[in-house]
Amino acid sequence: MKHLSFVLLAFMSFAVNAQDLSKLYKEVSPAVVIIFTSEKEIVTTVGSKSNVVTKDGLGSGFMISDRLIITAAHVVTVPEKINVLFPDGDIIPATVVSSYKTADIALIKLFRPRINPVTVKLGDSDSLKIGERIFVIGAPYGQGASLSSGYVSGIRKQGTGKNPFSNTEFIQTDAAINTGNSGGPMFNLKGEVVGIVSFITSQSGGFDGIGYATTSNLATKLLLNDKMPWLGADMHTLTTEECKLLNVPQAHALLVQRVVESSIFGKMGIKGGDVEGVINNQKLILGGDIILGYNDITFDLSDEALNKLADFTNSINDNPKFTVTVYRDGKIITLKSK
């Protein structure tokens, strides 16, 4: 009898949770969007020259105002075009406002306001507890407004100091995450966004039960409070060894991989690479500009330099005039913003 009572209680608890999720899904799912991107990519075939091709991308995102959408940084790395598809079939182009590669979060802005938008609120991710129930809405493999649920398996934090380029805070979960889910919201049972879906750990290539989402608190700090502008380039941080291999005249620098022509960097004339190469077993695009510094700030990996760089970048919206020192074809040149 006691065993039967326990089973009935467990079943009733499951039914209540299912009803709660169904109700919450109906309320928040209209705020979740599908993001389609087009990017230029360098492709090299054996015995051939490198060619530029257009690569289409897919991800998810969610609305926080009538024009602003949060997504993952890797969904909108260097997009030439962004189109946002809403649940009712409306499609609106967008552009990147801000992006943090390490934290894997980005803010994009619609070209026009969404009429009668459904938006969601960012919750307090610091209040999450291991074992707490969460759910994810996104577009796995392009299947829009798909829900998966699970639990918080862990919280992973690294570099919680002032330096925004190394700060990461990820929520680990067993909720199913697949291609196309990236950038979608992770909700608590209050219907608040507590995470932005980022990546999975997988042995099979599919979902193996370990997924990660950037915390909502870090997204609030970096995207809504600091508001660092998107410069429009995909860059690789060169190590001291890599700088020596490329004859770079300093210990650390930024190798520009790809640049969006319409971006801040694109308008300055900063050039991306044009040939694929491998350095330290890592595939890179070579031949582009190597950034040595901004204004009077020489690039290196010390906290002091990176904090100065963060302060400088956050000031660009108020003072858009600045210079970038680059290493190009064996020469050091200075480019000015326009």
Please report the DSSP string for 39-61 in residue order: EEEEEE-TTS-EEEEEEEEEEEE
Residue 104 catalytic? yes
Q: Let me know: does 290 contact 238? Beta carbons within 8 Å.
A: yes
User: Catalytic: which of 104, 146, 149, 289?
Assistant: 104
Which token pair is 269? 């004339």
The CA distance from 305 to 162, in Å, is: 12
Residue type, 114: R
The CA distance from 275 to 266, in Å, is: 19
Q: Is 121 helix (H, G, I), strand (E, B) or coil?
A: coil
Residues 6+ apart with CB under 8 A from 50: 42, 43, 44, 274, 275, 276
H-helix or E-strand spanning residue 187: strand 185-187
User: Could you tell me the sign of the dihedral formed by the alpha carbons of 187, 188, 191, 195, in that order?
Assistant: negative
User: Catalytic: which of 29, 99, 149, 182?
Assistant: 182
Which sequence positions are flagged as catalytic?
A: 74, 104, 182
